[in-house]
């Protein structure tokens, strides 16, 4: 187990499953050369798509991933891309029923150090339900 500091979070699905993977997940992004080397040393595949994520890997889980703030309080809002975090990573080996195998990185602890709250674009506040016609 080791700690990755000052990384960016992208595409956080921490408390709801991702539609494609059917798992809880988050991209851990903009990794330094030293962080990439450490992950690859453990066998974790690090990718780069020439976009804002830089070098990254996707951490997935069958269970919700609980984010905390610097004071140890649980975060209850959706986390937007480019939020900063420190992540305690625990690599693990896996083998699929098809015979494929590899090493992935699980998240033992996620501490958000610079939170950017996700707000969907084009969505307005609904307001008082008494003013809304329900069909």
CATH number of the domain within which 45 lies: 2.40.50.140
Q: For the whole model, what pTM was predicted? A: 0.85
- Tell me whether residue 132 is in a domain: no
**Domain containing 115: what range?**
2-120
Inform me whether the pLDDT recorded for 124 exceeds 60. no
- Tell me whether residue 106 is in a domain: yes
- Tell me whether residue 24 is in a domain: yes
Category of 6 on φ-ψ map: left (φ > 0), alpha (ψ -120 to 50) or beta: left
- Tell me whether residue 73 is in a domain: yes
Q: Are 83 and 112 in contact (CB under 8 A)?
A: yes
Note the pLDDT of residue 125.
Answer: 56
- Tell me whether residue 135 is in a domain: no
The DSSP code for 49 is -
Please compute the mean of the pLDDT values over residues 29-39 and round it to a whole number: 98
Q: How many domains does the chain have?
A: 1
Note the pLDDT of residue 128.
Answer: 56
- Tell me whether residue 16 is in a domain: yes
């Amino acid at each position: 187990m080791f700690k990755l500091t000052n990384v960016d979070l992208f595409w956080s699905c921490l408390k709801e499953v991702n539609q494609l993977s059917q798992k809880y997940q988050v991209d851990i992004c903009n990794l330094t050369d030293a962080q990439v080397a450490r992950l690859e040393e453990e066998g974790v595949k690090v990718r780069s798509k020439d976009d804002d994520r830089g070098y990254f890997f996707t951490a997935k889980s069958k269970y919700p991933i609980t984010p905390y703030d610097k004071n140890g309080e649980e975060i209850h809002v959706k986390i937007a891309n480019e939020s900063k975090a420190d992540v305690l990573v625990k690599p693990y080996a896996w083998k699929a029923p098809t015979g494929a195998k590899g090493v992935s990185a699980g998240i033992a602890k996620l501490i958000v150090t610079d939170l950017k709250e996700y707000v969907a674009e084009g969505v307005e506040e609904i307001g008082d339900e008494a003013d809304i016609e329900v069909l």
